[in-house]
A and B are shown apart, each in its own frame.
Chain A
Amino acid sequence: MNPRRVLAITRRLLSQFRRDRRTLALFFVVPIVVLSLLYFLVRGSGQHPAVGVINQDSGPLGGAIATQLLKSDRVRASEMTEERADAGLHDGSLAAYIVLPADFSSRALQGHVIAPEVHLEGSQPGPSGTVLQALSQSLAAAASSASAPGVASVRLEPKISYLYGGPDFDTLDYFGAAFIGLFVFFLVFIITSVAFLRERSQGTLERLMASPLRRGEIVLGYMIGFGVLALLQAAEVLVFSLYVLKVHNSGNVFLIFLVEALMAIAAVNLGIFLSTFARSEFEAVQFIPLVIVPQVLLSGIIFPVSSEPQWLQYVSNVLPLTFAVNGMRDIMVRGQDLTAAALQLNVGVIFGFCGLVILLGATTLRRRLA
């Protein structure tokens, strides 16, 4: 082994790397950005599940528990009417509300059973668990305080109801809906960027430009081709998720396909558009950390957008994938159809994004009259 020859290779690699500004930036900037995002998502989440507390108890116990709930640092609890709480649960501003019924104290003292009604939104397993933890903590705190004598020996038997999902609803049900949508977007984006880049680098795009083909025909051809592939993949993923992994779905399968088709169209055109900015397949692969990773972190797939710090929520709310993820959850978790305003908004935004990237993709394909 000749160390000079080895060093020649090492030195050549480093020189190449130094010339490649973009890879250099990517290499040193991306880890910091991704780690910072994770920091804000995991540690910076100032927001705790919002919980409504409705105390109808005539006795002292309800008040004691309500006071403890309002003081709890696990949830953001506030007192409200049952009507408002129910509306809050439907529009997503509340993760749960807890009703302490009129006979709460007397039943606790006579029957030794504490039975608050817990109404959970249920689409996210995380907050549901937090709410139940906060409730039992509040009960323990109330029991140890002097205001409710004789409570220490009672059982907690909350009556839990779910707006969406149910007690069997787990993390996979919550993630599954989003991931089904993510696969289409991610994979179609990658194969389109690479396919289109190849078209450029092998010179066939020049040939297409010198043929009677029009820009719209090229874009539409690509859209249909990869769209068909995407829907086949969607069908496979959906069958596997629903029937093999038994992921929860309360919505219409055709609506899922509609959202996936829109995402595929968006991904194809985003791929065509961004392939203009890459000179090699190597550079195209670099779009993964730039385009995909931040969207995966910020679109609410893993970390709910509502638990992000406020300034990050602004970022999340302009990312198209956020709306796609919400749309998929509206359908699969919440069982919404196109009459629901939330789903209309989400589908509408994805639709608009499709329009935008089609325009961008077609524009960059302009006959390069330089």
Chain B
Amino acid sequence: MQEFAIDVQGVTKSFGRIKALDQVSLRVGTGEIYGLIGPNGSGKTTLIRMLIGLVAPDTGTVTVLGQRMPDVGILSSIGYMTQAAALYPDLSVLENVRFFAAINDAEQGVDDALKLVELYERRGSPVATLSGGMRTRCSLACALVHGPKLLLLDEPTVGIDPQLRRQLWDAFARLAGQGTTIVVSSHVMDEAERTQRLGLILFGRLVAEGTATELKRKAGTDNLEEAFLRLAREVAA
């Protein structure tokens, strides 16, 4: 097993005149929960899409699970959950999860995935009839049904109530305990506290990295949200 699940070196990416990522380098260890925090439009989604090979860097290298990205072969080891719950609304929960299992050759994981997100009882319901939170959980089940070694979650808890958010983070922690590496982007600070390491992205640059405690100490405050704002202000200045 390679030491780092993710190894990003000096990556830059521009869309036209807008620099989405600027000299970003980061490493995520196997089994680690890594949080990407930053305001909307800071480059979090671009970075995550780059990790799965949907976006190629202009310069720099992206290595995931030992493979230079983009690499189609490694995709069966990665689970990807997009910002919006990308599902087939007319299909049932079970049919959705089963479809994403089938395209990953992993039909045996369907029941476990449904139980993990606590949708097993609702598996027959069409996705269109589910609440927003249930859709997000269904989307998560689709992302992890094939037992990926790396889980990329782009703002998975947007629009989800605190109770459910806690449940999801408990699930993430369990998965990480089983050796799954998780990269999760967020701008909700209380959940950022539950990651093992945080990277703060601002204007496409990774401006600070460390545990929540380290970042708070660096900013000289015991509130992560305050730390986030102070660090952001330092960068802007």
Q: Are B56 and A369 in contact (CB under 8 A)?
A: yes
A213 in contact (CB, < 8 A):
yes
* A-B interface contact total, Cβ < 8 Å: 53
Of the residues B15, B72, B76, B86, contact of A207 by C-beta under 8 Å: B86
A202 pairs with B103, CB closer than 8 A: no
Distance in Å: Cβ of A107 to nearest Cβ of chain B: 74
Q: Specify which chain A residues have a CB less than 8 angstroms from the CB of B25 in the assembled complex.
A: none
Q: Is the CB of A209 within 8 A of B82?
A: no
Chain A residues 68 to 82 lying within 8 A of chain B, measured CB to CB, are none
Min distance, Cβ A151 to any Cβ of chain B, angstroms? 74
Interface residues of A (CB under 8 A from B): 202-204, 206-214, 367-370
Residue of A nearest to B88 (CB): A204
The 8 A-B residue pairs with the shortest CB-CB distance, nearest first, are A203-B86, A210-B80, A212-B76, A369-B56, A212-B75, A210-B52, A204-B86, A211-B103
Contact A212/B52 with A202-B86, A203-B82, A207-B80 known, Cβ cut-off 8 Å? no
Task: Please name all residues of chain A whose beta carbon is closer than 8 Å to the beta carbon of B203 when the two chains form the complex.
Answer: none
Docked CA distance A210–B82 (Å): 10
Shortest Cβ distance from A202 into chain B, in angstroms?
Answer: 6
Q: Contact string, B33-72, partner A, CB cutoff 8 A, digits 1/0?
A: 0000000000000000000111110000000000000101
Task: Give the residues in chain A near B88, CB-CB below 8 Å.
Answer: 202, 204
Decide: A213 near B103, CB < 8 A? Known: A367-B70, A368-B54. Answer: yes
Query: Complex formed: what's the CA distance from A206 to B53 in Å?
Result: 11
For residue A42, give the distance in angstroms from its CB to the closest CB of chain B.
44
B78 within 8 Å of A by Cβ? yes
- When distances are taken between beta carbons in the complex, the residues of chain B under 8 Å from A370 are 15, 55
Count of B residues near A, CB < 8 Å? 25
Report whether A212 and B73 are in contact in the complex, using a CB–CB cutoff of 8 Å.
yes
12 A–B contact pairs at CB < 8 A? A202-B89, A203-B82, A204-B88, A207-B82, A207-B142, A210-B53, A210-B75, A210-B78, A211-B104, A212-B73, A212-B76, A367-B53
The answer on a CB contact under 8 Å between A369 and B55 is yes
Interface residues of B (CB under 8 A from A): 15, 52-56, 70, 72-73, 75-76, 78, 80, 82-84, 86-89, 100, 103-105, 142
Chain B contacts of A213 at CB under 8 A? 103
**A208: chain B residues within 8 A (beta carbon):** 103
Q: Is chain B's interface secondary structure helix, strand, loop, or mixed overall?
A: loop
Q: Are A207 and B55 in contact (CB under 8 A)?
A: no
Bound CA–CA A209/B49 (angstroms): 11
Assess the A202–B87 pair: CB atoms within 8 A: yes
Closest to A369 in B: B56
Query: Which A residue's beta carbon lies closest to that of B74?
Result: A212
**Is A206 a contact of B73 with CB atoms below 8 Å?**
no
Complex CA distance for A213 and B82, rounded to whole angstroms? 17
Report Cα–Cα, A322/B86, bound state, in Å.
40
- In the complex, are the beta carbons of A204 and B75 less than 8 A apart? no
Query: A212–B72 contact, CB under 8 A?
Result: yes
Q: Chain A residue with minimal CB distance to B85? A: A203
Bound-state Cα–Cα, A202 to B52, Å:
19
A208 to chain B, nearest CB (A): 7
Cβ B75 vs Cβ A211 within 8 A? yes
Kindly report which residue of chain A lies nearest to residue B51, judged by CB atoms: A210
Pick the contact of A212: B54, B55, B56, B103 (CB < 8 A).
B103
In the assembled complex, which residues on chain A have CB atoms less than 8 Å from the CB atom of B54? 206, 209-210, 367-369
- Given A210-B53, A211-B103, 8 further pairs, Cβ under 8 A: A207-B86, A207-B142, A210-B75, A213-B103, A368-B55, A369-B54, A369-B55, A369-B70
Contacts of A202 in B (CB 8 A): 84, 86-89
